[in-house]
Structures are given as structure tokens and as C-alpha cells.
Amino acid sequence: MRQTLGRSIGVGGLLLAGCCLLATAAAAQSDGEGLSPTLAAIKSRHTIHLGYRESSPPFSFLDQANRPIGYSLELCQAVVEEIATAVDDPDLKIEYVKVTSDDRIPAVVQGKIDLECGSTTANAERSKQVAFSPLMFVAGTKLMVAKESTISAPKDLQGKTVVVTKGTTNEQAMHALDKKFNLGLKIVTAGDHEQSYQMLVDGKVDAFATDDILLYGLIARHKSQDKFKVTGDYLSYDPYGIMFRKGEPQLKEIVERTFRKLGTNHDLVPLYNKWFVARLPTGERMNVAISPQLEDAFKALDDSEGVND
């Protein structure tokens, strides 16, 4: 009888201990334990911080009511849905935080924003500080000049003044070009693309160098097709991605899973067309068809489904 009673108490104790462990684990998950630092912070404040740009159409810009909209932001919103599921918070709120070319990487590193939803080139140098989503666009540095300008090749820039937006890969590309061809360029910087554009409008510079798609977006937004043109060959190659904090495999998997789902559901090309081909909510139209390289990248995401899951 004593042995039987002891055995019963032992089994009951184990069951009770097991229930306590499960309850503790559930409580820990509820408090954010077991989540990566970014996800735990998001769960704790019930809010995710999305970094946006004011003048990078059609990726990230403001509508007539000064609300952030764009292709990159819509991709980020899809990631937010996955994060909401991961942290078990269906009412997760979005707070938009303005960033610039110059402060966007520090904003990610320092935790001021959780995702950067702009027009950021993913390269090896930046990958030392931050992580990137799968490819969402491919661009390259070109020049915007006045319609009557004769600038079309690097040699035409001899002794000219070129504006670049501070903190961009275009700034590096122009310094490299200047050194390679000994152009004697005067390279000036502005705080954001809109300011760089305005310097060209005001005649303070001979050319504005940034990613071609951003130049087309600014021309379309300002309806200045009769005043400015995009010219020359590509001066750099710039693959875009959404930025987030480095060293968080859990967050990385959520971002990559979101892109795989969008690829598998064939949502990426229609999303691209919405922002690059159709008329934008602000009225202008880009009319930039998807490149074969980007379409292949989207198809590869579809093909990878099932391999990574």
C-alpha cells in the first residue's frame, strides 16, 4: 500500500510539475521571452516602428494627406502581418518614423525603427551593420540633367558640379567615377532626394546623380518631363532590400517567409505593377515595366517555397 501510494504521489507530482512548466513557458512567451530582441520589444509595446522616406517615389513617399505610402511600405506591411502572428498580437499597431539617406542605417542599428521601408541598396559594406530582405528591386546610378544639356557620358562631366543625396551609394559611385576619369568634379550633397532635385531646378548644379528609378519618380511627381531627362549608362548596380537588425535569425526567417509567401501566391508582380506601371494614388504614372532580372528573382522565391519550409 505504501509503495502504491508513493508511486501515485510520484506520478501526480510529475504531472503537476509538467503543468507548471507548461504554464511557465506560456507566461514567458506572453512576456516576450524566447523571442529575438526586436520581436520582444515589438510585443512589449504592441507597436512596430516602420522607417519611411518622404521623397522616394514610388517606394516610400507622402500622399496628398501627408501619409506615408509606397511599394516598400506595402511590402513592410506584409511583414508586419507575419510578425503580428509570431508575437501573438493581432492588434499590433504601426508607427511610422521618418528617416533620411544619412540616418536610416543608424536608426535600424539603434532600434529607433524595426524595419526600414525605403529605397536602400543592399551591399556587402552595409551588410556588416544591418540585415536585408530578399531582393525587391534592381536600380543603378544615372544622371538627371536639364532637357537641353549635352551631358550623356562620364567625359561630359569634366569640371561640372553634381549633387548627390548624402549617405547614398550614389555618392560613392560619383567619387569613384571622378577618380577613374580624373574629371575634376565638384560633388555637393543634399539632405534628401527632394533637396537634391531642387538644387538642379535652381540651376545650382549641372546634374543630379541617384538611382534611375528615383529620378524617373521625381520627374513624374513634379511633372517636369519637359524640363529634365535621365541620361547616360548605369554608373553603379544597386539591388534594393528592406533593412532590419542584424543577428536576429528569428526576425530574418519571418522576413524571408513573407517574401516566399508573396512569391508563391504570385503577389509580387501585381504589387510591382500597382506602384510602377499603374497610376499612383498621387496621380502620376511611372510606366516602368518590371525588368527580366527582377521577375526572375521573384520566380526564384516561388521555386524556393517548400525547400526552406
Domains and CATH numbers, the chain: 37-138+240-304 (3.40.190.10), 141-236 (3.40.190.10)
Show the cell assigned to 215: 529620378
| Percentage of the residues of the chain whose pLDDT score is greater than 70 | 87
Average pLDDT of the chain, as a whole number: 90
Instruction: Enter the pTM of the model.
Output: 0.83
CA 258 to each of CA 20, 242, 273, 277: distance values in angstroms, whole numbers, following the listed order: 35, 12, 19, 23
Looking up cell 506601371, which residue turns up? 277
* 302 band by pLDDT with thresholds 50, 70 and 90: confident
Q: Is pLDDT at 26 greater than 90 in this prediction?
A: no
The pLDDT tens digits for 276-289 are 999 999 999 999 99
The pLDDT tens digits for 77-87 are 999 999 999 99
C-alpha closest to that of 116 among 81, 83, 79, 141: 79
Q: Is pLDDT at 2 greater than 90 in this prediction?
A: no
Question: Does residue 262 sit in helix, strand or coil?
Answer: helix
Cis peptide before 58 (omega within 30 of 0): yes
Q: Is pLDDT at 28 greater than 90 in this prediction?
A: no
| Percentage of the residues of the chain whose pLDDT score is greater than 90 | 86
- The lowest-confidence range among 3-12, 35-44, 66-75, 115-124 is 3-12
Q: CB under 8 Å, gap of 24 or more: what pairs does 268-274 form? A: 268/298, 268/301, 269/295, 269/298, 271/71, 271/74, 271/75, 272/71, 272/298, 274/71, 274/74
Q: Span 102-124, mean pLDDT?
A: 97
